[in-house]
Structure 1
Amino acid sequence: MKTQLAAIAFVISAFSNAQVGIGTNTPGGAFHVDGNKDNAASPTAAQTANDFIVTSTGSAALGTITPDASAKFQINATDKGMLIPRVALTAPNDAATILSPAKGLIVYNTNVNTNMEEGFYTNYGTPAVPKWITYQQRDKTAWKLDNVFDVTATAPVDQTVTATTAVNNINLGLSITITVPAFTQAKLVTTYSVPMGTTAIATSFGGYFGVRFLKNGTELPAGSRKYTVPAVSSSASSRMASVNATVGDTVTNNTASPVNVTYALNGYVEPTADTATIRFNMWSTADPNFNWGRGYMSVQMFTKTTL
């Protein structure tokens, strides 16, 4: 009789409070199970470690009675993990082991074959055409190729110079802006090749051709290059050289926002004699440019986390 009265009282209490508690007289949500029946009036984290709760908003939590507002389902534990289903996938496009697998479905694959290894896989495809992809092993100490950027010159750039007057800020139209993600260290490897030469006969022109390598508008000397042009007293025809370089730069972004880095190339001419017009990037807009080719610049970005 006492058991029946207790059950009736429980039902009445549940309906009147719109909450159901199992193992507790003070449910903290719409449905609350205190597995060890050890909660105090204001339970500690240790006491709620054996609880399960469903809140009035439809969120659920295991191991806590106060799930984070951003979580639909939360699990709290310091000495246990979550064991998800283990399946034996047969191929990256396996659509038979799990029928109509949802996009984003996660499983642990136990089958090792030619195309697949053991580990966690997610369906990046569709239920009809699955595409099972495993997680990449992440080594915080190793550089990972993140992206490649490049630019090719689209037009010649001419600069007329006179003897002993250096010009070092000739805009070649070759620049690349890299975005370094938050909390990331980036190794940026730039390679460039710029053809340059005189456009007509220069009787005794001599001096230097070159490229100034700029980082955010300031020269980074390690990437700049010069080429010596010897003076020739006899009527010399057009002379051409390609200035090339590979330079590495490290950018560390320890902030929570992305950081932009811009690399650019400026033409450099320092004549010691004669007046001449120096052409950069290519001989002609229309190909073929034969031995000139076209000015080119590329940046490879390798990254690793700073966290």
Structure 2
Amino acid sequence: MKIKLLPVMLLGLFHFVNAQVGIGVNTANPLGAFHIDGAKDNAVPPTVAQQANDVVVTSAGDVGIGTTTVDSSAKLQINTTNKGLLIPRVMITSPNDGTTIPSPAKGLIVYNMNATTSMVEGFYTNIGTPAAPLWVTYQQYDKTIWKFENFYDSVASAPVDQAVTSGTTINNINLGLSITVTVPAFTQAKLVTTYSVPMGTTSSNNNLSGYYGIRFLKNGTELPIGSRKSTLFASSSAASPSSRMFSISATVGDTVVNNTSTPVSVTYALNGYVEPTVGSDTIRFNMWSTTDPNFNWGKGYMSVQVFTKTTL
């Protein structure tokens, strides 16, 4: 009689298990394909506090620890207010160490306990390949400290000549020197521009006098703190002509605050400026010749360094 009842009992148990949401440990009401109620304290439904000792595996294979509801965007979700995640601690010997962890996967994260001349203790990620690892550490984040973000530069490609006549001011000579900077979203940026532009007359005419220099533009509008001009003096004799070449240099600081959710662009440009008061001639900017050597002229150059910190 007992032998005849065993198949019936097993069949009933099979139907019982398949009727559940999942397999439960310490709970008669599993909330996933596999559910452990560590303290066996769940109500129906369990409170947030009761879920703190639970582990759930959903039908999609997602895992929740400290919660029975896994966010749809997470493969693993851990809920806790007084504990952390302890990842493996290893002793990496160098940035290219492929022995301590054989063939480490790209994107593998570890905590390195080994401080060497080339590495510090901290979290490291392999951004190389399993065959050629490259371990890099995370930069310390402090929202109050300026962080170097990027560097831009531009070199003049050709001389720019401008004929001038006394009484006529020209302030928009395009020197071909401009830089567009991208300021990330929700960022305050310090933008430091440095430039140096040689300029001078192209002939031995010694009666030209007046002013020449550089107008510094931000998004097409002059930013006066960055503009520089010099006086061009006439000479009393042909034996001692007026200055043939002069370099104008400047370092300019600017602040841009981007409180939007999208990056913004800022363009800085240099325009030549001439204001002759006596005589006429041709003023040359950027370089004497496209072919080196340019002797004492050099070439026009500008650069922008970008430092940022968050506005959030």
When the two structures are superposed, what TM-score results if normalisation uses the length of structure 2? 0.90
Cross-structure match for 2:213: 210
Pick which of 88-97 and 263-272 moved more: 88-97
Q: 2-side partners of 1:293 and 1:162: how far apart?
A: 26
**Aligned residue in 2 for 1:129:** 132
Q: CA deviation at 1:162?
A: 1.3
Q: How does 1:81-100 map to 2 (within 5 A)?
A: 81-100=84-103
Q: Which moved more, 1:72-81 or 1:139-148?
A: 139-148
Cα distance in 2 for partners of 1:187, 1:13 equals: 67
**Helix, strand or coil at the partner of 1:46:** helix
Q: Distance in 2 between matches of 1:249 and 1:256?
A: 21
The equivalent of 1:300 in structure 2 is 305
Match of 1:144 in 2: 147
- Contact 2:189-2:306 within 8 A present in 1 as well: yes
Which residue in the other structure is 1:257 paired with? 262
In the other structure, the counterpart of 2:121 is 118
Return the offset for 1:18. Answer: 5.4
SS in 1 for 2:48: coil
Identity of aligned residues (%): 67
- After superposition, residues 184-199 of structure 1 pair within 5 angstroms as 184-199=187-202
Amino acid at match of 2:283: I
CA distance in 1, matches of 2:206, 2:109: 73
CA contact (8 A) 1:201 1:238 kept: no
- What is the aligned counterpart of 2:175 among 168, 172, 177? 172
Within the candidate set 264, 271, 282, 2:276 is matched to: 271
Q: Which moved more, 1:149-158 or 1:22-31?
A: 22-31
Counterpart position of 1:247: 252
Q: Which amino acid in 1 is paired with 2:257?
A: T
Alignment of 1:71-86 (within 5 A): 71-86=74-89
| Partner Cα distance (1:9, 1:250) in 2 | 75
Q: How far off is 1:12 after superposition? A: 3.1
Unaligned runs of 5+ residues in structure 2 are 1-7
CA contact (8 A) 1:34 1:51 kept: yes
Q: How far, CA to CA, are the matches of 2:260 and 2:272 in structure 1?
A: 34
Deviation sequence 1:232-261 (CA, Å, 0-9, x none) = 353436722111101111112222211111
- When the two chains are superposed, the root-mean-square deviation of aligned CA atoms in Å is 2.1
C-alpha separation between the residues in 2 aligned to 1:191 and 1:51?
Answer: 60
Q: Distance in 2 between matches of 1:212 and 1:169?
A: 8
Residues 104, 126 of structure 2: 8 Å contact kept: yes
The one of 219, 234, 237 equivalent to 1:234 is 237
Contact 2:188 2:311 in 1 (8 A): yes
Structure 1 equivalent of residue 3 of structure 2 = none
Which SS does the other structure have where 1:176 is aligned?
strand
Maintained 8 Å contact 2:172/2:272: yes
Q: Secondary structure at the match of 1:15?
A: helix
TM-score by length of 1: 0.92
Once structures 1 and 2 are overlaid, which stretch shifts more, 167-176 or 131-140? 131-140
| Aligned equivalents of 2:53, 2:221: Cα separation in 1 | 61
Q: Deviation per CA, 1:154-212, whole angstroms, max 9, x where unpaired?
A: 01111112112111111111000010111222111110011111111334110111100
CA distance in 2, matches of 1:147, 1:41: 55
Post-superposition Cα deviations, 1:249-281, rounded to whole Å, max 9, x if no partner, equal 111222221111110001000110111111111
Q: Is contact 1:202-1:238 (8 Å) kept?
A: no
User: How far 1:16 sits from its partner (Å)?
Assistant: 2.7
How much has 1:13 moved relative to structure 2?
A: 3.1
Deviations, residues 7-57 of structure 1 (Å, cap 9, x unaligned): 987753331345222222222222222222222223222221211111222
Change (3 A) 1:237 1:113: closer
